[in-house]
C-alpha cells in the first residue's frame, strides 16, 4: 500500500501565537519525560503540570510538553478553584512550527484501562460556548481503547488523532469545540467525532471542523450499547465519521474525507429551526460510505426543523459499498406528517454521479420536505486531483470545479491557508484546495484537415466547461512550437452561444481558413476568457497537424 502523506499549515502556529496565546504574559510550565530535577516549573508528567496550572483566575497558563510518549490521563476543569481557569496545553510545535513535534509528542492509551466515562485520555470540562479557554495544540493521541478526547468548548489544533475507539464507543466527543488543521485516521466507533447538544437557546455557538484530513476511519451503526458520557445517546446511532445531534450548530469547511469506511461520512439532525449544518468546500473522495444521512426524525417525530447547506463540495464516493447501503449518496428518514420540513440546500457542488433526490431510507411516515437542488450550478463530473493517493488534493488545471464555486458560502482561506478566491475577481474553486486559476484550462480534442468552399481549412475541435461561464475563446496558430506553449499569432475568436448550463462541457468547432500553406505543420493552442477578458485561462496543451501537399478538389460528373 502506498504511503499517504498529510498536509499541515505551519501558519496556524503563528496564528495561535499572535491571536490566542501570549506566551510571555502567563506562567509557562514544562513537561519533560523522565524528569528528575527540582525546578518548580518543570514536571515529569503532563498530569502534574496541568494540576499546577490555572492558579490565577482569568489567566491562561501554558504547559509546553517535550517530545515523548506519555501514558496517562489528563483532565482540566475551568471551574475548579480559583475559577475562571484557562489553559494552553501544547507540544513544542507551538514554539517553532516544526511538525515533527506533533508526531513525536504522543499521549498513548496503550495498556491503559478505560472502563468508565472518567477514563478519557484528555478531557476539559468548562465553557462549551468558548473556544479559547482550553487549547490543545500539536499532539498525537494514539490507541485509546474507548475514549481519546472529551472537550466542552475549547479547540484542537494541529493534532493527530489515530487508532482509537471501539464499535460501541465514540473516541472523540465535543461540545461547541473547534477542530482545525488536524488529521484523523484509523479510528473506529458508531461515530468518530460526535458533537453533543449545547443548549436550547437560539444563540448557542457553532462547532467547527476546518482544514482537517479524515482517512481510513470506520463508523458503524450501533443500537446494542450507548456511550456513557451523557448526552442524548438513547437513540440508535446512525454511524458516521461526523455525527451531530439536535440543539447544535455546526460547520465543516475545507476538510478532506478519503477512503473512510462504514455507514456515512455525516449523520446529523435537529428539532429546532436554529439547528444548522453548513458543509462548505469539502472533498468526499473514494469513501466506502454514503456521504450523509439526515436524521430529520431526531427528538421526536414531527420535530424536524433544522437546515443543512451544502456548497462548493467535491463528492465522489463508493457509496454502493456502504455498510448501511442505499442507492444514493444521500439518505434521510421520514419525519412525520405534522412537523415542519427540514430544508436542504445543494448548490455549486461537483458530484461524480447524479444522486436520487427523491429516495428516502425509511418510510414510516409520509411527509414532504424542502430539497433545494440547484441543477444550474451543480456539475456532474469527476474531479482531477494532482496526487490523491499521496494526499495532494489540489485540482489539476484541466479539472472541472475550478472557479465554479459560490463565494458567498465559503471561507476566506483554503485547506493550505491560501486566499480565496484566487485570482481575486474569479469565483472560488470547489473542494478544499484553491488553485491559482480563474477557470479550467480548455482542451483541443482533435485537429482535422478539411476543404471549405474550395479553400484549404483546418477544423479545430475543442471543449470548455460551462461553469464558470466563458465569454470567448481565442485560437492561436504558429508554424513553430514554443517551449512556453505560447503561440504568437491569433487565427480567430470564438464566441460561445447556445450554452447548456446543465451539461458538464460543450464540444465546439472553429474552422481556420486563414492563409494555410500546403505541406506545412501548424501548432494550435487555445485560451478561454471570462468577465470580458479580465480573466484568462492557461493555454491548452499544444496540438499540431500537417496540411496536405495539395488541396483536394471536387470532381464534377460529366454525365
Confidence band (pLDDT; 50, 70, 90) for 299?
Answer: very low
pLDDT digits (tens, 9 = 90+) for 411-442: 899 999 999 999 998 999 999 999 999 999 99
Place of cell 448501511: 324
Q: Torsions phi, psi of 104, nearest 5?
A: -100, -5
- CA-CA distance, 499 to 545, in Å (whole number)? 29
Q: Among 261, 262, 309, which Cα is nearest to 281's?
A: 309
DSSP secondary structure code for residue 390 in this structure: G
**Nearest-5° angle of CA 505, CA 509, CA 510?**
130
pLDDT given at position 245: 77
pLDDT given at position 371: 67
- CA-CA distance, 172 to 343, in Å (whole number)? 28
pLDDT given at position 150: 95
185 close to 255: Cβ distance less than 8 angstroms = no
Of 131-140, 188-197, 230-239, 506-515, where does the model show the most confidence? 131-140
Measure Cα distances from 240 to 82, 189, 230 in Å: 39, 8, 19
Q: Tell me the average pLDDT across 483-506.
A: 44
pLDDT digits (tens, 9 = 90+) for 174-233: 999 999 999 999 999 999 999 988 766 656 788 999 999 999 999 988 654 445 444 334
Question: 153-178 b/e with 16+ CB inside 10 Å = b?
Answer: bbbbbbbbbbbbbbebbbbbbbbbbb
Q: Tell me the average pLDDT across 293-317.
A: 73
pLDDT given at position 1: 40
Residue 473 is placed in which grid cell? 475563446
Q: Kindly state the percentage of the chain with pLDDT values over 70.
A: 79
521 close to 545: Cβ distance less than 8 angstroms = yes
- CA-CA distance, 125 to 177, in Å (whole number)? 12
Confidence band (pLDDT; 50, 70, 90) for 503?
Answer: very low
Confidence band (pLDDT; 50, 70, 90) for 506?
Answer: low
- CA-CA distance, 207 to 100, in Å (whole number)? 28
341 close to 334: Cβ distance less than 8 angstroms = no
Strand partners, 208: 178, 251
Measure Cα distances from 330 to 238, 241, 294, 426 in Å: 13, 15, 8, 30
pLDDT given at position 167: 86
pLDDT digits (tens, 9 = 90+) for 317-363: 988 888 877 667 887 665 444 334 467 889 999 999 877 555 444 43
pLDDT given at position 231: 37
Q: 110-115 long-range CB contacts below 8 Å, 24 or more apart?
A: 110/71, 110/142, 110/143, 111/71, 112/71, 112/72, 112/73, 112/144, 112/145, 113/145, 114/144, 114/145, 114/146, 114/147
Q: What is the DSSP string of 59-73?
A: -EEEEEE-SEEE---
Q: Tell me the average pLDDT across 298-307.
A: 55
What integer best gives the mean pLDDT of the chain? 82
Q: Tell me the average pLDDT across 520-548.
A: 88
Measure Cα distances from 175 to 207, 275, 296 in Å: 7, 14, 20
Can you list the alpha helix ranges (DSSP code H) found in 67-146? 93-96, 100-104
pLDDT given at position 225: 45
- CA-CA distance, 194 to 210, in Å (whole number)? 15
pLDDT given at position 188: 96
- CA-CA distance, 535 to 526, in Å (whole number)? 14
Q: Which residue has the higher pLDDT, 297 or 367?
A: 297
Q: Which residue has the higher pLDDT, 143 or 18?
A: 143
pLDDT digits (tens, 9 = 90+) for 54-98: 888 888 999 999 999 999 999 999 999 888 999 999 999 999 999
Is the pLDDT at 397 greater than 70? The verdict is: yes
- CA-CA distance, 192 to 184, in Å (whole number)? 9
pLDDT given at position 89: 98
Of 6-20, 173-187, 302-316, where does the model show the most confidence? 173-187
pLDDT given at position 20: 44
Q: Kindly state the percentage of the chain with pLDDT values over 90.
A: 51
Place of cell 482509537: 164
Q: Which residue has the higher pLDDT, 168 or 393?
A: 393
Is the pLDDT at 489 greater than 80? The verdict is: no
pLDDT digits (tens, 9 = 90+) for 240-289: 999 987 788 899 999 999 999 999 999 888 777 788 899 999 999 999 99
Is the pLDDT at 41 greater than 50? The verdict is: yes
Is the pLDDT at 406 greater than 70? The verdict is: yes
Amino acid at each position: 500500500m502506498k504511503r499517504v502523506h498529510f498536509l499541515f499549515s505551519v501558519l496556524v502556529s503563528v496564528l495561535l501565537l499572535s491571536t490566542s496565546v501570549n506566551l510571555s504574559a502567563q506562567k509557562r510550565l514544562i513537561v519533560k519525560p523522565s524528569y528528575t530535577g527540582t525546578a518548580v516549573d518543570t514536571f515529569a508528567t503532563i498530569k502534574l503540570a496541568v494540576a499546577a496550572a490555572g492558579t490565577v483566575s482569568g489567566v491562561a497558563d501554558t504547559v509546553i510538553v517535550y517530545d515523548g510518549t506519555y501514558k496517562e490521563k489528563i483532565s482540566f476543569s475551568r471551574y475548579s478553584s480559583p475559577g475562571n481557569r484557562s489553559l494552553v496545553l501544547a507540544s513544542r510545535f507551538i514554539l517553532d512550527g516544526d511538525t515533527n513535534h506533533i508526531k513525536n509528542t504522543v499521549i498513548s492509551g496503550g495498556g491503559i484501562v478505560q472502563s468508565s466515562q472518567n477514563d478519557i485520555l484528555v478531557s476539559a470540562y468548562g465553557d462549551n460556548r468558548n473556544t479559547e479557554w482550553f487549547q490543545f495544540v500539536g499532539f498525537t493521541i494514539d490507541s485509546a481503547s474507548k475514549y481519546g478526547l472529551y472537550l466542552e468548548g475549547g479547540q484542537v489544533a494541529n493534532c493527530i488523532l489515530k487508532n482509537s475507539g471501539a464499535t460501541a464507543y465514540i473516541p472523540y466527543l465535543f461540545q461547541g469545540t473547534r477542530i482545525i488543521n488536524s488529521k484523523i485516521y484509523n479510528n473506529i466507533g458508531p461515530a468518530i467525532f460526535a458533537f453533543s447538544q449545547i443548549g436550547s437557546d437560539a444563540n448557542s455557538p457553532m462547532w467547527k471542523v476546518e482544514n482537517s484530513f479524515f482517512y481510513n476511519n470506520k463508523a458503524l451503526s450501533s443500537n446494542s450499547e450507548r456511550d456513557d458520557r451523557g448526552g442524548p445517546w438513547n437513540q440508535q446511532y446512525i454511524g458516521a465519521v461526523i455525527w451531530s445531534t439536535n440543539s447544535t450548530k455546526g460547520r465543516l469547511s475545507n476538510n478532506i474525507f478519503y477512503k473512510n469506511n462504514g455507514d456515512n461520512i455525516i449523520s446529523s439532525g435537529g428539532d429546532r429551526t436554529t439547528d444548522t449544518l453548513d458543509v462548505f468546500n469539502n472533498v468526499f473522495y473514494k469513501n466506502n460510505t454514503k456521504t450523509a444521512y439526515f436524521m430529520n426524525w431526531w427528538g421526536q417525530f414531527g420535530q424536524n426543523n433544522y437546515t443543512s447547506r451544502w456548497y462548493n463540495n467535491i463528492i465522489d464516493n463508493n457509496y454502493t459499498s456502504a455498510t448501511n447501503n442505499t442507492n444514493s449518496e444521500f439518505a434521510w428518514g421520514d419525519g412525520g406528517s405534522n412537523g415542519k420540513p427540514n430544508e436542504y440546500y445543494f448548490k455549486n457542488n461537483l458530484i461524480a454521479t447524479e444522486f436520487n433526490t427523491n429516495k428516502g431510507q425509511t418510510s414510516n411516515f409520509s411527509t414532504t420536505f424542502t430539497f433545494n437542488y440547484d441543477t444550474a450550478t451543480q456539475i456532474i463530473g469527476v474531479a482531477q486531483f494532482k496526487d490523491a493517493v499521496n494526499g495532494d488534493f489540489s485540482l489539476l488545471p484541466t479539472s472541472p470545479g475550478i472557479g465554479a464555486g459560490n463565494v458567498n458560502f465559503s471561507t476566506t482561506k483554503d485547506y493550505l491557508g491560501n486566499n480565496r478566491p484566487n485570482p481575486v475577481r474569479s469565483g472560488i474553486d470547489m473542494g478544499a484546495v484553491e488553485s491559482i486559476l480563474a477557470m479550467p484550462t480548455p482542451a483541443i480534442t482533435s485537429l482535422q484537415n478539411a476543404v471549405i468552399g474550395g479553400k484549404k481549412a483546418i477544423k479545430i475541435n475543442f471543449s470548455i466547461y460551462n461553469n464558470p461561464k466563458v465569454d470567448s475563446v481565442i485560437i492561436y496558430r504558429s508554424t513553430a512550437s514554443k517551449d512556453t506553449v505560447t503561440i504568437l499569432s491569433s487565427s480567430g475568436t470564438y464566441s460561445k452561444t447556445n450554452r447548456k448550463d446543465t451539461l458538464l462541457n460543450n464540444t465546439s468547432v472553429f474552422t481556420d481558413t486563414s492563409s494555410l500553406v500546403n505541406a506545412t505543420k501548424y501548432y494550435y493552442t487555445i485560451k478561454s476568457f471570462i468577465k470580458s477578458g479580465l480573466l484568462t485561462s492557461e493555454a491548452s496543451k499544444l496540438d499540431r497537424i500537417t496540411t496536405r501537399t495539395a488541396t483536394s478538389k471536387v470532381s464534377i460528373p460529366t454525365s
